[in-house]
């Protein structure tokens, strides 16, 4: 087997495996190294996203949503069920099978594209003439030489000080996705994306869920009007969210976990739960890289320092995805991976960071791209806003899913779309139209004049665009 490569990618998450495939498509001889192990100790490429992130969380969100629909909403359709039960082991088994399909899919794609895969930990050994020596530690240790190196080592969950993850009672996302029985009382620290998604899964299955959030504002990065609407829906569902708290001591015992905290009024409180998920953000993975061997510059968070084009301080060394600045999202990592491979090939890969969409896969889903109303106000940009509620959309009514709205923000002078914000059914799919429109610098009038199928949720997008000019047709 060859040990010399044009490109060596360290990490096979969405940033790394996509970079490896794109580089191979461009004619390079590519190796990709990843250390993730499946339950049998074998390779499990796909990174956080595939193994303990995007994919398994969406599998559990779907199972739990099916359960909630069957229990709470099938009756409205005249469907009656008796003795409805959730077998958590089957749900987790299905989730594991979905993950494995994705792992296998990536191994297949590596073969198809002639990417050589190494299972183990990759680290910098030293710089050599025209490249870098990379050591692979694992079942089959190897030393590789690459002319270009792409670091795509991702991120890991941040623990609360003094409360390390034991994955039994204090859980990171890893443990949160493998809970074996519905906890009666579930606590979450952090009402960010993981807090809301994981809180939703277990609430739907019957847990009493309490989320403790340090910030005084709910979903501060989300458009205020959208966040308010989402909060209303979560309150109605019984997801208890306490804002402005200061978490103190966290004690895990035989009977569960006790969290001491001060509430927003600075009153001392305790929360007793059977399991606690800590979702307070993530830290870049650079400890195993031996960055100092080659002088690769890291930032204060342990992230690899890069410029807008993902170039590090070293010639021929690039970094993409969660291990660098910017949003920790799989599609952002992928776009950077493609752009870097193309730059190595002398092309002009490009990522528009303003057009990276966000989706929170709760019910209702929350999705947005571009600027929020509060950002436009802060930047003193003159804009016009248009909203359309799903309540006024025929398809949403037929679905029985009418919570939320689509909101457009357009430049007051040029009418160029500056941001689109959705809370409601299928927001994750609807946001794609906004991304396309904004990539082509469309105006709200452009969307308002495009024929959308009836009845469809996407008519709400067209109507919100019409609302910018105060001429909705169905509201």
Q: Which of residues 135 and 157 has its CB atom nearest to ligand NAI in the complex?
A: 157
What letter does residue 311 receive in the DSSP assignment? B
Residue 191 touches ligand NAI, criterion: CB under 6 A? yes
Q: Decide: is 214 part of the binding site for ligand NAI (CB under 6 A).
A: yes
**Would you list the DSSP string of 253-302?**
ETTEEEEEEE-TT--EEEEEESEEEE-S-EEE--GGG-GGGTT--B-TTS
Residues 235-254 touching ligand NAI, rule: CB under 6 A, are 247
What letter does residue 139 receive in the DSSP assignment?
Answer: S
Q: 128-147 mask for ligand NAI (x: CB under 6 A)?
A: --------------------
Binding mask 269-308 for ligand FAD (x = CB under 6 A): ----------------x--xx-------------------
In whole angstroms, the minimum distance from the beta carbon of 153 to ligand FAD comes to 3
The item of ligand NAI, ligand FAD, none sharing an interface with residue 406, based on CB under 5 to 8 Å by kind, is: none
Q: Annotated catalytic, 119?
A: no
Applying CB under 6 A, among 165, 318, 361, 390 the residue interacting with ligand NAI is 361
Q: DSSP assignment of 363-427, as one string?
A: SSEEEEEE--HHHHHHTT--EEEEEEEGGG-HHHHHHT----EEEEEEETTT-BEEEEEEEETTH
Contacts with 299 (C-beta within 8 Å, 6 or more apart), sequence order: 305, 325
Q: How many CB atoms lie within 10 A of CB 164?
A: 13
Query: In whole angstroms, what is the distance from residue 475 CA to residue 470 CA?
Result: 10
Which residue matches tokens 């059914």?
A: 425
CA pair distance 321, 336, nearest whole angstrom: 7
The DSSP symbol for 106 reads H
Residue 370, interface with ligand FAD (CB under 6 A)? Answer: no
* CA proximity to 279, closest of 406, 407, 192, 361: 192
Copy the structure tokens of residue 21.
Answer: 């495939």
Read off φ and ψ for residue 122, nearest 5 degrees: -95, 140
Task: State yes or no: residue 33 binds ligand FAD (CB under 6 A).
Answer: yes
Range 283-342, binding ligand NAI (CB under 6 A):
327-329
- Among the listed ranges 108-116, 328-336, 389-397, 412-420, the one in contact with ligand FAD (CB under 6 A) is 328-336
CB 8 within 8 A of CB 117: no
Regarding 331 and contact with ligand FAD (CB under 6 A), the answer is yes
Q: Which does 280 bind (CB under 5 to 8 A by kind): ligand FAD, ligand NAI, none?
A: ligand NAI
216 binds ligand NAI (CB under 6 A): no
Residues that bind ligand FAD (CB under 6 A): 10-16, 33-36, 47-49, 53-54, 57, 121-123, 152-155, 173, 194, 285, 288-289, 321-323, 328-331, 333, 361
Residues that bind ligand NAI (CB under 6 A): 160, 189-195, 197, 212-215, 247, 279-282, 327-329, 359-361
**Residues annotated catalytic, as ranges:** 454
């Amino acid at each position: 087997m060859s040990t010399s490569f044009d490109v060596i990618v360290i990490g096979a998450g969405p940033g790394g495996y996509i970079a490896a495939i794109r580089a191979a498509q461009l004619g390079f001889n590519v190796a990709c190294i990843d250390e993730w192990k499946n339950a049998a100790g074998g390779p499990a490429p796909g990174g956080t996203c595939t193994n303990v992130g995007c994919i398994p969380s969406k599998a559990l969100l779907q199972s739990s949503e099916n359960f909630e629909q069957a229990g709470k909403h099938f009756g409205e359709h005249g469907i009656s069920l008796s003795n409805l039960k959730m077998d958590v082991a089957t749900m987790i088994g299905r989730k594991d099978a979905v993950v494995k399909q994705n792992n296998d899919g990536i191994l297949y794609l590596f073969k198809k594209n002639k990417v050589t895969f190494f299972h183990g930990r990759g680290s910098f050994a030293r710089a050599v003439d025209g490249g870098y020596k990379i050591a692979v530690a694992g079942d089959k240790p190897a030393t590789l030489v690459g002319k270009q190196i792409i670091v795509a080592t991702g991120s890991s969950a941040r623990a609360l000080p003094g409360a390390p993850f034991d994955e039994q009672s204090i859980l990171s996302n890893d443990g949160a996705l493998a809970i074996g029985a519905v906890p009666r009382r579930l606590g979450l620290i952090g009402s960010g994306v993981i807090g809301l998604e994981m809180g939703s899964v277990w609430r739907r299955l019957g847990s009493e869920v309490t989320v403790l959030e340090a910030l005084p504002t709910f979903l501060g990065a989300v458009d205020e009007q959208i966040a308010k609407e989402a909060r209303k829906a979560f309150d109605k569902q019984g997801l208890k969210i306490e804002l402005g708290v200061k978490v103190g001591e966290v004690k895990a015992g035989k009977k569960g976990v006790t969290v001491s905290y001060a509430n927003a009024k600075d009153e001392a409180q305790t929360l007793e739960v059977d399991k606690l998920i800590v979702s307070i953000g993530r830290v870049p993975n650079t400890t195993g890289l031996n960055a100092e061997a080659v002088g690769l510059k890291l930032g204060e968070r342990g992230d690899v320092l890069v410029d807008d084009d993902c170039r590090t301080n070293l010639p021929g060394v690039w970094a993409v995805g969660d291990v660098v600045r910017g949003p920790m999202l799989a599609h952002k990592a992928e776009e950077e991976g493609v752009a870097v491979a193309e730059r190595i090939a002398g092309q002009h890969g490009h990522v528009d960071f303003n057009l990276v969409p966000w989706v929170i896969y709760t019910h209702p889903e929350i999705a947005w791209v571009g600027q929020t109303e509060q950002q436009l106000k802060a930047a003193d940009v003159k804009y016009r806003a248009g909203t359309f509620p799903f309540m006024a959309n025929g398809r949403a009514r037929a679905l029985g899913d009418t919570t939320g709205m689509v909101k457009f923000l357009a430049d007051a002078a040029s009418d160029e779309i500056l941001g689109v914000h959705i809370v409601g059914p299928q927001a994750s799919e609807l946001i794609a139209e906004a991304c396309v429109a904004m990539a082509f610098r469309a105006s709200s009038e452009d969307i308002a004049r495009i024929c959308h199928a009836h009845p469809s949720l996407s008519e709400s997008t067209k109507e919100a665009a019409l609302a910018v000019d105060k001429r909705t047709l169905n509201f």
